[in-house]
Structure 1
Amino acid sequence: MSSSIHPFRVLRAKPLWIANGVITGVLALLFAVFYVGANIDPVDHMTKLPVGLVNADKGAAVDGKQVDLGARITESIKKSTASGDKIDWQVMGEKDMKEQLGEGKLYGALVVPADFTSSITALTGTTTTGAPARPTLTVLTNQSAGSLGSGLARTATTQAAENASLQMGKELTTGNGARQAKLPGAARVLLADPAAVTVEDGHPLDSHSGLGLTAFYYALTLVVVGMLSANVISGQVDHALGYTHNDMGPLRLHRPLIRATRVQTLAISSTLMVGLSLLMGTLVMGGAVGVMGMDASHLPLLWLYSVCAIAVCGIGALTLLAVFGTPGMLVVTLVFIGMAVPTSGATTPIEALPGFYRFLAEFEPLRQITGGIRSILYYDAQGDAGLTRGWVMMAAGLVAAALFGFGVLGWYDRKGLHRIPVEAAPEKTAAPA
């Protein structure tokens, strides 16, 4: 029996406005907090951004004594309080520096050249080996570790190198007063700021690598595909079991009800997700690499990682949808998108996030998946470059989803909290005489 009430009268119902207002309002507030709050002031929040400091200076003999000005300037940079604890200067050799740049463990580096001391002493006139040449301090960037992080490291390292050069210039002019007066004017100007600073790419990427961002966008694609596919699969399984209608344009399709426990429903959905992940992972890689021309190597490994990432994210989303019901989609959106993108380490480095976001980054799926994709695309699939962590965290996420999902849903089933309660059997009536 239909009601004669006009449909638009439901807009007068306060609960409808209140319920939807609370949900959409909280969602808007949380997205603003996660997206804007994480990136509003990365410089101020930056703490211990790892940057390499290499002294390749071989030193020089001055007045019968061995002098190593490279060691002096690197020690000055390391002890400088100008950057506070924003930069974590890691003193190392050239070989270690190149390895760590190639694993994404450094956002940049500062290299003192082998002829640093000899070139500077030539400016003072204390050596006679060739014409005076201004030494160059080289700032190396690493866009593969993240464009913003590399930019922050470049700015701080360049400033530190320039300040150290000026400080050394003061020491040289003070200690060589009489000798400086005999130098040509150009040499005195150079002596006041003896080192030039140049910037180079420490770990060059191929041209179709999005300046180090293709790994992030590829990983984001995997997460979004898994999340949205979970929503589709959940709805289609419910329709196949007869629990919901399926609207196809103006048509409404409905199947006979097949009673299934909540655990059985999640098992069916998860099996479907695993099978379809093979297709989705193939198409994502085919679209990115084959159609759009993204630079990539280790294609079999990239395919396997893509399939597993979609499957794990999809099963995680299915679990949340099954446990929380209708509000589950909001939870899924917050977990896989709202909290994930700002803490991925791709847009803003983890070291430049507020403490709360760093905590989220330890387990948020997008960061773990991005680290593995970076390793495959940029770092020759090295385990230490994020690939091992990516596999381990995906396995841990899958186990956590299974324990949480099947555990809670099993409890629902044992309590008789079925999706459609079992109807009481109709009473038998006596047949008429």
Structure 2
Amino acid sequence: MSGIHPFRVLRAKPLWIANGVITGVLALLFTVFYVGANIDPAGHTKNLPVGLVNADKGAAVGGKQVNLGARITESIQKSTASGGKIDWKVMDEKEAKEELGKGKLFGALVVPGDFTSSTTALTDTATTKAPVRPTLTVLTNQSAGSVGSSLARTATTQAAENASLQVGKELTAQSGTGQARLPAAARLLLADPAAVTVEDGHPLDSHSGLGMTAFYYALALVVVGMLSANVISGQVDHTLGYTHNDMGPLRLHRPLIRATRVQTLAISSTLMAGLSLLMGTLVLVGAVGIMGMDASHLPLLWLYSVCAIAVTGIGALTLLAVFGTPGMLVVTLVFIGMAVPTAGATTPLDALPGFYRFLAEFEPLRQITDGIRSILYYDAQADAGLARGWMMMAAGLAVAALFGFGVTGWYDRKGLHRIPAETKPEKTAVPA
């Protein structure tokens, strides 16, 4: 007993400096990762994939075959109005539906089959019928992310409106003095002939969180795996006798069981793999059974959930084993700090700064989210993100095993054991 009052440690400068540096760096990093990724999505958008469909069959005008839809799609492709933010993908209606149904398009602009015939009918001076305004359809895709769908909708709607004005100029120039003989309604429509309507290109069920349940479900899996790793690591250390366990006012301590670092990591990883069966089941029961989340392919969703928790947990255990006490900070940064902004759930990867796009290539949450999104929204299609999710989880598990057992094995070989050294008896001088 030193007799020093405990509160006197607050006078120690190293205590303030060490904790100040750690907490300050965490505050700065989390701010940079979260705010920096989402501060200007529109400004950082580049090559956001949007479909461009011309289903117009054309019509005979003045003895010539005319296809205004082809003119519109061609002008949109050549336009520089988007500043490189939109990557227009020319395709037919079937391809557009398939791409929207895989989350590979954030939206689409569709020119209908009767566009030319409906548009040119506005210049028909012989008809007495009320003119029918042609329609350009903007398709959205909330399943690919609300922000990305919103960006695509804005750009596509603007492109459709500009195309309508351009067609109006051409029709006005062609009709010339004949405009005076047109019905009053037709003359009003001639300058801006096309109406723009917005439809959901890939409708979701009502309990799909407007396309966000995949992200939150994946986030739950990652957080459960990460926090469980911290619990399991502490409980294994307590069971082996390396640490005590405080239960309220009680302090429990077990007899020491000697174990190398490699053995300790193997025990923790085995426990994590086994308990992932329980945790994955409970996450699925909580989301679908209790909260009523819309989901299909339940056996596959269960298997994917179990594997995601296991891989995340073993990855976190590896970092804890290699870095020790600071490992939890590293785990938090890797699985939460850098992961949430780069998951592509709220802000699409195409609207992130370059550094965040780089992180998204290997951040676990992004890979897991893509797989969950495929299962929940895209009928578990492999090329909708599910195949990548499985491959990246397998790669992550392999990297964690090689890194964790490689480094802890090196610690053991260098004699950096967790086993306390035996206390040697003090030597005493023997009198002559």
State the TM-score bracket (shorter-chain normalisation).
over 0.9
Which residue of structure 1 aligns with residue 422 of structure 2? 423
Mind listing any 5+ residue stretches in structure 2 that lack a counterpart?
none
Deviations 1:301-327 (A, max 9, x none): 000000000000000000001100111
The answer to whether the Cα contact below 8 Å between 1:62 and 1:126 also exists between their aligned partners in 2 is no
Going from structure 1 to structure 2, the CA distance change for 1:117 and 1:62 (only over 3 Å counts) comes to: same
Report whether the alignment pairs 1:133 with 2:132.
yes
Q: How far off its partner does 1:131 sit?
A: 4.7
The answer to whether the Cα contact below 8 Å between 2:69 and 2:116 also exists between their aligned partners in 1 is yes
Three-state SS of the structure 1 residue aligned to 2:342 is coil
Which residue of structure 2 aligns with residue 281 of structure 1? 280
Which residue of structure 1 aligns with residue 74 of structure 2? 75
Which residue of structure 2 aligns with residue 369 of structure 1? 368
Which residue of structure 2 aligns with residue 122 of structure 1? 121
Range moving further from structure 2, 176-185 or 275-284:
176-185
Q: How far off its partner does 1:129 sit?
A: 10
CA distance in 2, matches of 1:304, 1:129: 65
The answer to whether the Cα contact below 8 Å between 2:221 and 2:309 also exists between their aligned partners in 1 is yes
The answer to whether the Cα contact below 8 Å between 1:309 and 1:369 also exists between their aligned partners in 2 is yes
Three-state SS of the structure 1 residue aligned to 2:138 is strand
Q: Give the counterpart letter for 1:356 in structure 2.
A: F
CA distance in 2, matches of 1:97, 1:389: 22
Range moving further from structure 2, 181-190 or 48-57:
181-190
Q: How far off its partner does 1:126 sit?
A: 7.0
Report whether the alignment pairs 1:339 with 2:338.
yes
1:28-67 matches, within 5 Å, as: 28-67=27-66
Deviations 1:351-403 (A, max 9, x none): 00000000000000000000000000000000000000000000000000000
The answer to whether the Cα contact below 8 Å between 1:245 and 1:252 also exists between their aligned partners in 2 is yes
Q: TM-score, normalised by structure 2?
A: 0.97
Report whether the alignment pairs 1:292 with 2:291.
yes
Q: Give the counterpart letter for 2:10 in structure 1.
A: L
CA distance in 2, matches of 1:182, 1:328: 80
Going from structure 1 to structure 2, the CA distance change for 1:313 and 1:182 (only over 3 Å counts) comes to: same
Going from structure 1 to structure 2, the CA distance change for 1:429 and 1:256 (only over 3 Å counts) comes to: farther
Going from structure 1 to structure 2, the CA distance change for 1:129 and 1:294 (only over 3 Å counts) comes to: farther
Deviations 1:61-96 (A, max 9, x none): 111111000000111111111111100000000000
Going from structure 1 to structure 2, the CA distance change for 1:129 and 1:153 (only over 3 Å counts) comes to: farther
Deviations 1:5-34 (A, max 9, x none): 000000000000000000000000000000
CA distance in 2, matches of 1:237, 1:154: 52
Range moving further from structure 2, 244-253 or 178-187:
178-187
The answer to whether the Cα contact below 8 Å between 1:101 and 1:107 also exists between their aligned partners in 2 is yes
Which residue of structure 2 aligns with residue 260 of structure 1? 259
1:194-343 matches, within 5 Å, as: 194-343=193-342
Three-state SS of the structure 1 residue aligned to 2:65 is strand
Cα RMSD of the aligned pairs, angstroms, is: 1.5
Q: How far off its partner does 1:128 sit?
A: 5.5
Length, aligned pairs only: 429
CA distance in 1, matches of 2:303, 2:318: 22
CA distance in 2, matches of 1:94, 1:327: 53
Which residue of structure 2 aligns with residue 88 of structure 1? 87
Q: How far off its partner does 1:328 sit?
A: 0.5
Going from structure 1 to structure 2, the CA distance change for 1:398 and 1:152 (only over 3 Å counts) comes to: same
CA distance in 2, matches of 1:323, 1:31: 23
Three-state SS of the structure 2 residue aligned to 1:336 is helix
Q: Give the counterpart letter for 2:389 in structure 1.
A: G
Q: Give the counterpart letter for 1:418 in structure 2.
A: H
Going from structure 1 to structure 2, the CA distance change for 1:63 and 1:128 (only over 3 Å counts) comes to: farther
Q: How far off its partner does 1:189 sit?
A: 1.4
Which residue of structure 2 aligns with residue 381 of structure 1? 380
Deviations 1:268-289 (A, max 9, x none): 0000000000000000000000
Going from structure 1 to structure 2, the CA distance change for 1:78 and 1:181 (only over 3 Å counts) comes to: same
CA distance in 2, matches of 1:276, 1:33: 35
Going from structure 1 to structure 2, the CA distance change for 1:127 and 1:417 (only over 3 Å counts) comes to: farther
Q: TM-score, normalised by structure 1?
A: 0.97
The answer to whether the Cα contact below 8 Å between 2:125 and 2:181 also exists between their aligned partners in 1 is no
Which residue of structure 1 aligns with residue 107 of structure 2? 108
